[in-house]
Amino acid sequence: MDENNQLLGEARIMGVWLRKIIQDNQGNVFVYGAFNERQAHIGKDVILADSISSSGTSFYYSGHFLIKLNDKNCTPPSINDVPHHPFNRIICPDQVFQLDAGPGFVDYEWSNGSKTQKIEVSELNRYTVKVKDKNNCISYSSPISILHKENSSVHNLCLITYENDKQIIYGTLNFDYSTKNYKIYKIDKATGDTVDVLFEDYKNYLNVQFVDENSTPSTKAYLYSISKVDTCGLESPVSVAHKPILLKIRKEGTSNLLEWEPYEGMDIHSYHIYKGTDKGKMRLVDSIGVSVLIYVDTNLDSLFHYQVKANKKLFCYLGSSNYFGTTSSNIVVDEAYVPTIVEATEMDINADLFPNPAHDILTIQLPEQKQVTIVLKNLLGEVLYKTSGNQNKFEIPMQNFKQGLYVISIDYGVERKQFKIIKH
């Protein structure tokens, strides 16, 4: 009977033991029990004994039954309008999430003891809600589990290479769409100190190329490692560190000796030596094993640039059938090849260059007024400044040039002389 004394169901029992009354999540009520007669009448059903046991001359019939007493069409609640089946919700560790059992019920009872339609949760737990409608039909929701977002997995570097006088950092493809940004750590290997942290926003799974604008590849090679930060602010573990090739050159008698610090962080096959009179047009001249970190060049009939490259054993796939795996060192030049004074003819040209070292203005004083061309070059042979005129005094602006060594060429047409100057 219900609270209004309305009949919900009945059981006609004969030689029966009631074990329990069961209510499912749809509000249906069942009676479960056992009997020892040959048969039992339960409601409109007749249940026969399902086994016989004996004790001496007596026989005992035993059976079990499960009868539904009421059959009401209860509507189970759907938490947050999710279809009626178990599901998980992943939230940030410090996030508060609202669970809503929906309107239309007179009573709510959550598994955490709350009695309201909506509750706010932040703890890891499994939640259900029991509801009762205006017809006193009781029903249960499917469970929802609240899980905390875990740290993302490690994001690996592909390689680091030299390009346009900067270090370029390539990562592998990243299909973790919860990534908000990357953190690239720049580490001094000698001290282990992090000297810089580069932040790059996540754009898409293909965009994993970064430039260290503060890098000086010809001076020092740093270790680089990468991590990713998700939308919860959780940072993944840091990747294995990579260190690019650092190439240096020095003179050994009449030969050029190339030495380099090896690439660290990936397996490579061999090192490849490139050489050329123009740093934009270098060609492969030799390949050596990974255990050799030195190369001697005896063919020095011109001013040469050098670069060392290496290939990964396993290339990185960067999308659109683009496999990437070549790393390049910085470019070095045979500075010793540039003489202090180079004369185009045997005729001498007297000229005073002052101050040397120069600061803002370099003055060139000639012994007499003539038509002359003045050219300023760096040690790579690149023309930085050029002027001409029929006069005996020229002033070269030096304010915008970096500190270092430069070459001044004074050309009378049939006579030419070069001078080395220093910019402070």
**The pLDDT of residue 192 is above 90:** yes
> If you search the block for the tokens 């499917």, which residue do you land on?
142
pLDDT tens-place string over residues 94-148: 889 999 999 989 999 999 999 999 999 988 889 999 999 888 888 888 888 888 8
pLDDT value at position 60? Answer: 46
pLDDT tens-place string over residues 196-226: 999 989 888 877 889 999 999 999 999 999 9
Averaged pLDDT, 56-73: 53
Q: Taken in order 377, 382, 385, 391, is the CA torsion positive or negative?
A: positive
Phi and psi at 336, nearest 5°, equal: -65, -15
Helix (H) or strand (E) holding 317: strand 305-317
User: Does the domain made of 248-333 have the CATH classification 3.30.70.1140?
Assistant: no
Q: How far apart are CA 242 and CA 239, in angstroms?
A: 9
DSSP 240: P
Return mean pLDDT, the chain. Answer: 81
**The pLDDT of residue 348 is above 70:** no
Name the more confident of 241 and 176: 241
> If you search the block for the tokens 């038509």, which residue do you land on?
371
pLDDT tens-place string over residues 248-278: 999 888 889 999 999 999 988 889 999 998 8
CATH ID of 352-423, from 3.20.19.10, 2.60.40.10, 2.40.50.140, 3.30.499.10: 2.60.40.10
* Residue 58: burial class (beta carbons within 10 Å; 0-12, 13-18, 19+): exposed
Q: pTM for the complete prediction?
A: 0.57
